[in-house]
Amino acid sequence: METTYKALAMGALAGMRSLSAPALLSRALLDKHNNSLSGTPFEFLQHRYVANTLTGLAATELLGDKLPMAPDRTIAPSLLMRAASGAAVGAVVYAGRHKSIAEGAALGAVAAVAATYASFYLRKFLCKKTDIADPIIGALEDALVVASGLKAAKA
């Protein structure tokens, strides 16, 4: 069950911030110095260059989300990216535990899509019902993603 929860958690994070989940997972894999992904298609995630690149891309996404011209996360291209990211992290979690990559990908993708809509509507609701500006709520969402992602990725 632990593997399932981790795949769902990482997938949900991908739904909130598509690049943060793979970045945090890659960084955790790098820090662990184990060979759990050896011989899998995801072995490359354990390399420093990949972790650093994903971290840079995730930071760019965090900044871009605050811009007024940032598209809604529920439009088709954004939703597909989040689902793909969720599928990828779910597959990696399962591959690292020598379980079905397809099952992990499916769980991660479903969690990403669900979290995309949940976080989108929660953010809209909070902006409407509070005096907190959207970029501030976005920054709080970022903090939630990073903090929970650090914990989930290391589990």
Give the per-residue pLDDT at 55: 93
| Residue 73 near residue 79, CB atoms below 8 Å | yes
Give the per-residue pLDDT at 155: 64
Q: Where are the alpha helices (DSSP H) in 2-131?
A: 2-16, 20-32, 48-64, 76-96, 101-129
pTM of the model: 0.89
Residues of the chain with confidence (pLDDT) below 70: 1, 155
Give the per-residue pLDDT at 1: 66
Give the per-residue pLDDT at 133: 87
